[in-house]
Chain A
Amino acid sequence: MKNRVNRLKYFTDGILKENPILVIMIGLCPTLATSTTAKDALGMGIAASFVLIASNIVISLIRKFVPNSVRIPIFIIVISTFVTIVDYVMQAYAPALYRVLGVFVPLIVVNCIILGRAEAFAYHHGVFDSFLDGLGKSLGFTLVIVCMGIIREYLSTAKIFGFNIGPKFLSTNPVLFMLFPPGGFLLIGILKALVNKFINKTPE
């Protein structure tokens, strides 16, 4: 039986120390592609979080019955079930968001964070621990992607979540560069450099 401090660590590790995007550097495609506005980034964060938490719970529930040799295909089936649920729910209730995210909704299935946690954590731990781990990792993912969305949306339109807050010179001379792919690469490079400098002091 693990003590409470250890359990809390499963949760908090995912947010800062083992942040999936900025420390482990996986799940980059959705991060860069859907962070052009804060709203799209939040939508992607919620969708991926649902899949990650749900698949972590289910995989830890069935881990005793899954033979070691066919575990990866079974993980993929579990994950793709939840991705299909998200796909159709989003199509029905948030069609505008679905149009923007496009192919990246079904692509959640190959998001390395989710398969990585299934393999490295949920397959060896209990249901509650796996839930905490999924929650922490998905919070870490969502926080970074929404931060990037806020920065990119603010610089390219002077708005945050669609609300105009910027100074006038920014809305008349927006940094449109941030809206395009090069801006995304530049921003994540700068964020990773800041993480290396202030949080994770011994890189590589």
Chain B
Amino acid sequence: MSISNPGLIFLSAFIVNNILLMRYIGLCPFFGVSTSLTTAFGMSAAVLFVMLLATWVTWIIHRFILLPLDIVFLRTATFILVIAALVQFVEMFLKKNFKTLYTAMGIYLPLITTNCAILGVTLLVINYNFDLARAIIFALGTALGFGLVIILFSAIRERLEFAPIVRSLKGYPIAFISASLVALAFLGFIGFLGLSL
């Protein structure tokens, strides 16, 4: 991806290259917590919060510690440990200072460490050679795209609960097939404003 216009980076991350439906990153929480609207909201708020923070911190670590010391091969290990520590820290901080925010998204925070969407975005930002501002815009677009799809999809799944479905299709299979149809709709955005997959 060689675009540098911040608006296009945002749109590309938000819709055209949507992280769940087009890139296939972060699917475990997508199918795990999209069973009801409230859990979907909590999860997307937590992802938005941690993704922005993690992208900011890992970008700085990569540029000012890993690159000057020439230890880029430690990238994967460093990033995942930083994200794990960050999530712990955020959880403790919210518990102490922002009780309401903690009750809204607290239980989703531990799940986020192994959410590949966070690590995926921090790695993609490095691969694309974004500067810090563009990296944050990319993370914002990705997190909002994650939230948009997971909230839309949870509404679909709430309807599916009461739909008469063949027994062997109940649960995951019908969720996958619905996801396929939603992804088909998003496929229509390919080439939108010259953005490609």
Contact = CB atoms under 8 A, between A and B. Distances in A.
Interface residues of B, number: 43
Contacts of B167: 196, 203
A120 interface: no
B119 A182 contact: no
A166 interface: no
Interface stretch (B17-25, B44-52, B89-97): B17-25
B173 A190 contact: yes
What does DSSP make chain B's interface, helix, strand, loop or mixed? helix
A184 B24 contact: yes
Scoring B119, B123, B168, B170 by chain A CB atoms within 10 A of each residue's CB, the highest score goes to B168
Interface string A158-188: 0000000000000000000000111111101
A80 B173 contact: no
Interface in B1-60: 21-28, 31
Nearest to A115: B114
Contact of B76 (A26, A33, A83): A83
Nearest to A106: B76
Contacts of A182: 180-181, 183-184, 187
A80 B76 contact: yes
Interface in A101-115: 102-103, 106-107, 109-112, 115
Interface string A14-27: 00000000000110
Contact of A181 (B77, B170, B177, B187): B187
Interface string B42-85: 00000000000000000000000000000001111100110010
A189 interface: yes
A106 B173 contact: no
B170 A186 contact: no
B100 interface: no
B116 interface: yes
Contacts of A180: 183, 187
Contacts of B23: 33
A204 B168 CA distance: 10
B25 A107 contact: yes
A87 B98 CA distance: 40
A117 B21 CA distance: 27
B101 interface: no
B119 A107 contact: yes
B87 to A, nearest CB: 11
A28 interface: yes
Interface of A is mostly: helix
A73 B81 contact: yes
B153 to A, nearest CB: 11
A76 interface: yes
A197 B186 CA distance: 30
Nearest to A34: B24
B31 A25 contact: yes
Contact of B26 (A29, A81, A106, A197): A29
B172 interface: yes
Contact of A110 (B116, B124, B184): B116
A39 interface: no
A89 to B, nearest CB: 12
Contacts of A192: 172-173, 176
A53 interface: no
Given A103-B123, A185-B179, A29 B168 contact: no
Given A32-B24, A84-B76, A186-B177, A106 B184 contact: no
9 contacts: A26-B28, A33-B23, A77-B81, A80-B77, A88-B73, A106-B76, A110-B116, A112-B114, A196-B168
Interface of B: 21-28, 31, 73-77, 80-81, 84, 114-116, 119-120, 123-124, 127, 167-177, 179-181, 183-184, 186-187
